[in-house]
Structure 1
């Protein structure tokens, strides 16, 4: 049976000009934490007002933040970065009740003009047993290290790193119980701090994909969590650390092989050099390659 979320994503009727604003279709976050959402837009919207609203229907969504208004809310803030053609929305102290449909929107202005937008779903969940960044960016030719945190109960389990849009058919790239030759991918487990780190080197745009932090469970389905890797052109400007205040988000943990994402994908080449692979249930919170080196374990 095709997940309802996938049906909503595929068959949702977009507004005119909808290809000019885009983001990931599905985000997950943990209760009590913050979530940073990037909303990309075309060059033609560089000087337009951007805003963030919530509601099942676009025609009646409630505006929560605008780039032309003071940021007085402690719950939601918005920051535009015209140089990168992206605005970031930060939602703080998330609760289960914050689960819902949200919109990245651009004000067009003028009589009879309809604003441009992209919808996404945010689902807030309680803590999961395997946690990592929701998405990470890196420059072409560079390296990135991703921390994968896990609960005490997995301290002595084998950990592994795999890639692919479907959990039950992802391709294993590295395992903690295998020798780690110096190459494209390596994995290092640190049971003392309940984290294993994965390093990927010499990254290229084709490496932009879905990856999984996974724990091997004998006699039961493995446990794992996905993240998205976005590889930028070397000339692209990477996000500033201050704009992406949330380095870690606990994303959806898959404890059953039947709980998998559909393989529908679309790739967008962003004007600033981002090579973005989007999925109906993508998860995102960004951290730059530099930020990862100072990321702290989730509380």
Structure 2
């Protein structure tokens, strides 16, 4: 009994201490048979550490499922470590109701307790919050639209917002890192419009309705600039007109003279 209490206390301490070291969503709803990507952002000091996913309600009893070692994957779950953006991307495929539960994004620490942050996975026939596509792409200076569906009736007291995973949230109209954000709310969906996009706005965001979140990756490209540069390179090379007076002097005897 004492051992169990100690383990529970240890789990509680670890959860509190790791809250600012790994950031992820807390609860997500997925349709049976479909897939989802869960992003987990981590502190720069853990860039070179091994990452893994484990399952279980309590951290002390968490069972490792898959690691970020090269090529280590299974048919259901895999993780990749994007060190440039310090993101663990957890991919969960063809989910069934038996796979619902608590999971942890984890970082292996040598000679110390590993770090971990949990998220809860719902798997149902009729998800409460979903998007048609978890990835949206927009060009610099343009606008992207994201529609988060919540088909069930939600109380007007339930908060709806759009957030950057490692940053602030917008509840109606506002800005996120200088991107303009407008929310359009109905009883069936939440529509988000992000405008004045810049390259730095690439990253993970999430829509939130009540206790549920749905992660969405916004990818900002510079296609217009790329196309302009490509067009300039492909344009015919028209030499500048020669404004000098004609040279009537006989040419020097060179190899081209045939002599």
What TM-score results when the alignment is normalised by the length of structure 2? 0.58
Shift of 1:282: 3.6
Alpha-carbon distance between aligned partners in 2 of 1:84 and 1:106, rounded to the nearest angstrom: 16
CA distances 1:51-75 after superposition (whole Å, capped 9, x unpaired): 1110011111111111125334010
Partner of 2:67: 66
Q: 2:156 aligns with which of 168, 180, 193?
A: 168
Alpha-carbon distance between aligned partners in 1 of 2:182 and 2:113, rounded to the nearest angstrom: 34
Q: 1:281 aligns with which of 208, 211, 234?
A: 211
Alpha-carbon distance between aligned partners in 1 of 2:94 and 2:55, rounded to the nearest angstrom: 17
Partner of 1:115: 114
2:137/2:219 contact within 8 Å kept: yes
Alpha-carbon distance between aligned partners in 2 of 1:147 and 1:277, rounded to the nearest angstrom: 9
2:32/2:96 contact within 8 Å kept: yes
Alpha-carbon distance between aligned partners in 2 of 1:57 and 1:48, rounded to the nearest angstrom: 22
Alpha-carbon distance between aligned partners in 1 of 2:175 and 2:52, rounded to the nearest angstrom: 34
2:18/2:117 contact within 8 Å kept: no
Q: Which moved more, 1:13-22 or 1:277-286?
A: 277-286
Residue 288 of structure 1: SS of its match in structure 2? strand
Shift of 1:145: 2.1
Q: Does 1:31 align with 2:38?
A: no
Alpha-carbon distance between aligned partners in 2 of 1:207 and 1:170, rounded to the nearest angstrom: 25
Shift of 1:86: 0.4
Partner of 1:245: none
Q: 1:236 aligns with which of 196, 200, 208?
A: 200
Alpha-carbon distance between aligned partners in 1 of 2:125 and 2:40, rounded to the nearest angstrom: 25
Alignment of 1:248-263 (within 5 A): none
Residue 236 of structure 1: SS of its match in structure 2? helix
Q: Which moved more, 1:282-291 or 1:87-96?
A: 282-291
Q: Which moved more, 1:137-146 or 1:70-79?
A: 137-146
Partner of 1:92: 93
Alpha-carbon distance between aligned partners in 2 of 1:105 and 1:231, rounded to the nearest angstrom: 34
Q: Which has the higher contact order (CA 8 A, sep 6+)?
A: 1
Partner of 1:184: none
Residue 63 of structure 1: SS of its match in structure 2? strand
Alignment of 1:108-147 (within 5 A): 108-110=109-111, 113-127=112-126, 132-133=131-132, 142-147=142-147
Residue 44 of structure 1: SS of its match in structure 2? helix
Between Structure 1 and Structure 2, whose CA radius of gyration is higher?
Answer: 2
